[in-house]
Chains A and B, each alone.
Chain A
Amino acid sequence: MRKYNFFLLMSCFLTIGVLNSCKDSCKDVECANGGVCIDGDCDCAEGFSGMNCENDDREKTATLQVKLNPTFGDDSINLFEPLLDESGKPFFQLTKLYFYISDLKLDEEAATEEIMLVDLEDPNLNIGVTDIKAGTYSSVTMGLGVDKRWNYEDPASFDNEHPLGFDHSGNHWSWTTGYIFYKVEGNYSTQNDGNLDGGFLFHMGTDDLYRTITIDKDFTVEADGTAEIALNIDFEKMFFEDGGLDLKTEFRSHGMGDQFEVGQKFVNRLIETIE
């Protein structure tokens, strides 16, 4: 009996000893970022590493926004707000500006869900953006318009809210001619008398007028913030400087047929101007 009791007691002591050891191995261990101590080691939550889970290995991203920034020289243009000449008379007014942008990339990092729509009338629109990895970049590449791999899709085949969907059916010509890559519309004074009696309208589309541009510029995307890419378009350069379009005779193009030549001139000037 004594022997039995001795062994029983020894078993208890051993068990207690082992338990005390387990408890002690995590006593002074602190695991950060949701990690859990097991047998003296930190079992880290996904995305973290290090002895104490102190390393945050999760991809740092920022929300990307593309902003259309029309200007007249150094001055920003507001939609619908007439520009005034030196004598205070209205001479130019922008009433519509939207762009489809395909395959936006920062260096080689894809930054969109392939196609996006930005509209000056709704600066928060920015449909189709994705988060972008934080870091330093040196160039932005984008297609101005709808790449041909989507250009002849039926708007009804997308969700209504998709950039190419039916909520934006006004951006679509037809299944043969595709989408309107961008619209630039407004009014100007034909007589320089303050009356904005003339209109201008450029609706560009078709694969022939699709262009890919690269803008070289160093910029940094901070983590957990909003990174803004501004597309600057100087309308003084577009319409009022040598090499630009003459609104008296070159005030419209739908980019096709007898309007292709003016459309091409508009697109080429836009490529020179946009930054």
Chain B
Amino acid sequence: MACEKDLPMDDPSDEQVNYPPATPFELEIPEGFPPPKIPTDNPLTVEGIALGRHLFWDPILSKDNKMNCAGCHAPNAAFTDINRRSIGVDGIAGKRNSMALFNLAWSPSFLWDGSEETLEAQILNPVRDPVEMHLDWKTASEKLRTEPTYKKMFAQAFGIITDIDSLTTAKAIAQFLRTMVSAGSKYDKALNARETGVQLSDSELNGFTIFFNDSKKDGHCQHCHGSILFSNTDDYFRNNGLDAWDNINELTDLGFGGHTGLDRDAGKFKAVTLRNIELSAPYMHDGRFQTLEEVVDFYIDDVKQSPTLDPIMKTDFLQVGGLRLPENGKEDLIAFLKTLTDWDFVNDTSFHSPF
């Protein structure tokens, strides 16, 4: 759901203005979606969302004033990065592939390894990370405080006495991100065909069957990418067999295991949403696959053994000789995945730059 209006940027000079309380904003919940997770200490407001949108698009939060959040989370890539690993202000590449930013109001945890439990906490990282925007929060806050426009916007969003700091900045950006809801794909419209008139093609329907079913000719995808979100909300982290290894020491990225400290979680990463997957290449936590064809080929016959390999990757893939999709099965499955693209969301200018 997009923010309905933006705030005027005229004459922000008077510090003594008593602004009215921020205007509550009610998030429109798509049909079939569960209640969103909105923290009680950061409810959605019109002013907070507008501020968050400005901060998301403003390079002021980077060391060189040239990089904004959208630099690694571009709308036309479903708010991800077309690069395998994003390049920060110092020209250094990050460790993992940039993640898509939508439907975050339903995520129980954040990042590939789940190491951040709240969106607000996660937002603090890219600003200060040396391989990303490389700006300490003390300096970032001072820069914001010197901008009269931001003084006014922060006051309107959080009250005149609230300081401009990492917490309020992260809260505003989190509010904006929570409004970025994607539920208008072709698939969603086809679910409501009586009203929309949208139907899936034969190929897309075949792909739908392959995605959701478990027979020998099917893809078994919904076990990890199920629900209306096309990503589970529990058993979030899986080892899907990308790499063969026997000993944890062989891993360069422990993933979820790096967060929990448990050997049994080593090599597990978030099974992300497949909504808008057509636009969010490259794929997997390290961006190793450039195309959906490569992803499906991997699942067909290249799943590899390791001590923490998810049992379903053994029972439904390795132990049965890989996937045995029917003729044109790969093409049909990809055709179905492409029906999960929400062009209305991607093209919604309410989420684009306000500058």
Shortest CB distance A92–B (Å): 12
- Tell whether, in the assembled complex, residue A201 and residue B232 are in contact, meaning their CB atoms are under 8 Å apart: no
Chain A residues contacting B232 (CB-CB under 8 Å) are 169-170
Q: Which of B35, B264, B310, B316 contacts A252 (CB 8 A)?
A: B316
Q: Is B13 an interface residue (CB 8 A)?
A: no
Q: Which of A167, A173, A174, A251 contacts B234 (CB 8 A)?
A: A167
- Tell whether, in the assembled complex, residue B35 and residue A170 are in contact, meaning their CB atoms are under 8 Å apart: no
Complex-state Cα separation, A168 to B34, whole angstroms: 11
- Tell whether, in the assembled complex, residue B34 and residue A173 are in contact, meaning their CB atoms are under 8 Å apart: no
Q: Which of A156, A200, A257 contacts B215 (CB 8 A)?
A: A257
Closest B residue to A201 by beta carbon equals B315
Complex-state Cα separation, A251 to B315, whole angstroms: 7
Given A168-B234, A256-B214, A156 and B34 contact (CB-CB distance below 8 Å): yes
Q: Is A196 an interface residue (CB 8 A)?
A: yes
- Tell whether, in the assembled complex, residue B32 and residue A156 are in contact, meaning their CB atoms are under 8 Å apart: yes
- Tell whether, in the assembled complex, residue B227 and residue A259 are in contact, meaning their CB atoms are under 8 Å apart: no
Closest B residue to A254 by beta carbon equals B214
- Tell whether, in the assembled complex, residue A201 and residue B216 are in contact, meaning their CB atoms are under 8 Å apart: no
Chain B residues contacting A59 (CB-CB under 8 Å) are none
Q: Is A109 an interface residue (CB 8 A)?
A: no
Q: Which residues 114-136 in B have Cβ within 8 Å of A in the complex? A: none
Q: Which residues 217-264 in B have Cβ within 8 Å of A in the complex? A: 222, 226-229, 232-235, 264
Q: Which residues 283-337 in B have Cβ within 8 Å of A in the complex? A: 305, 307, 309-316, 318-319
Given A156-B228, A160-B35, A256-B214, A170 and B315 contact (CB-CB distance below 8 Å): no
Complex-state Cα separation, A80 to B319, whole angstroms: 21
Closest B residue to A81 by beta carbon equals B264
Q: Is B33 an interface residue (CB 8 A)?
A: yes
Complex-state Cα separation, A252 to B105, whole angstroms: 35
Q: Is B213 an interface residue (CB 8 A)?
A: yes
Complex-state Cα separation, A75 to B235, whole angstroms: 27
- Tell whether, in the assembled complex, residue A172 and residue B214 are in contact, meaning their CB atoms are under 8 Å apart: no
- Given contact pairs A167-B108, A257-B215, a sample of 6 additional A-B residue pairs in the complex whose CB atoms are under 8 Å apart: A159-B35, A165-B34, A166-B34, A166-B227, A199-B314, A257-B214
For the complex of A and B, list the 6 residue pairs with the smallest distance between their C-beta atoms, beginning with the closest. Answer: A199-B314, A166-B34, A199-B311, A252-B315, A170-B232, A156-B34
